[in-house]
């Protein structure tokens, strides 16, 4: 899992504690601070990581088509504090299985979670 630079850094250790079998990186810890979306996306694909972000650009299926990535979780909550982020992710993890996150575009709003499955296409 790769937490985008707009996700509070404190979420990485919290998520590692919550899901000890997951490998969780924050973009700032892997040299992606200040990088453009394409670079963040490329790193995530190279490392087979699901991206967690507040950036609405990652939800654009024209730029990041379903079936062409390992998963994107777009958080649509406000404010983007550590506490609100934790609440949103806790709700996501209760309602959506790890398997459903793979290759999907998941939009986590204040009251609703939308999952757009993106079965990986063979090349």
- Strand 113-116 relative to strand 105-109, pairing: antiparallel
The pLDDT value recorded for residue 118 is: 82
Mean pLDDT in residue range 94-108: 96
pLDDT tops 90 at residue 64 = yes
Mean pLDDT in residue range 103-123: 84
The pLDDT value recorded for residue 67 is: 85
d(CA 89, CA 11): 10
Tell me the pLDDT tens digit for each residue of 11-39: 999 999 999 999 999 999 999 999 999 99
Rounded to 5 degrees, what are φ and ψ at 12?
Answer: -60, -55
Mean pLDDT in residue range 52-76: 94
pLDDT tops 70 at residue 121 = no
Domain boundaries, the chain: 2-116
**CB neighbours of 28 closer than 8 A, spacing ≥ 6?**
5, 9
86, 108 contact by CB (below 8 A): no
pLDDT tops 60 at residue 123 = no
């Amino acid at each position: 899992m790769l937490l985008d630079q707009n996700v509070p850094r404190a979420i990485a250790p919290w998520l590692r504690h919550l899901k000890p079998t997951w490998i969780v990186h924050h973009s700032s810890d892997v040299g992606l601070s200040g990088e453009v979306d394409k670079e963040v996306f490329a790193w995530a694909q190279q490392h087979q990581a699901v991206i967690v972000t507040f950036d609405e650009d990652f939800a654009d299926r024209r730029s990041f088509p379903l079936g062409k990535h390992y998963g994107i979780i777009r958080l649509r909550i406000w404010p983007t504090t550590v506490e609100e982020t934790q609440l949103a992710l806790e709700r996501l993890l209760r309602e959506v299985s790890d398997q459903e996150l793979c290759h999907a575009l998941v939009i986590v709003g204040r009251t609703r979670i939308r999952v757009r499955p993106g079965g990986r296409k063979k090349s």
